[in-house]
Amino acid sequence: MLNRYTTKLNLFLFTLLFILYLCFGAYVFSFVEQPTEQMVINEMAKTRKDFLGKYPCVQEDDFESFIVTLLDANKHGVDARTNFTTEQEVENEQERLSTSEKSGLLWLPRSVSIHSYGSRNVPVGQPYRRQINETDNTATMTTETSKS
């Protein structure tokens, strides 16, 4: 028969084993994904360096600002590969992205659920991080090595 002591001990052991299981799973996951992540980081840095070398007229700050704009557009569902050369194409894209009542009904439960609380859309291992300056509402890109 279980008494309070054995119940608390079982709960403690289960919690400890669960935490160890999570830590071990996180270690295995990071060990398996690390080579691929490092390859993508290196490829992105090389592509960025090649682009800035090929087009020396593009300033590094302007390029980073352009990347921030593209990432913001992508976050809102706008495909950056779309060529908006005419007003009709811009209007078609606005109609495609307009919010309807149906999408609102799908969004509302998610927004109040625990699943969306505190979620961030920052990919793990991304070498550039966007930092928001609250005083003047500006966004800057920094590398992981130059955190301020």
More confident residue, 43 or 111: 43
d(CA 56, CA 65): 16
* C-beta of residue 99 within 8 angstroms of C-beta of residue 106: no
pTM beyond cutoff 0.85: no
The torsion defined by the Cα of 122, 124, 127 and 128, in degrees rounded to 10, comes to 10
pLDDT digits (tens, 9 = 90+) for 64-102: 998 898 888 878 777 777 666 667 776 776 666 655 566
For the chain, give every domain's residue range. Answer: 1-76
pLDDT digits (tens, 9 = 90+) for 1-13: 568 788 889 999 9
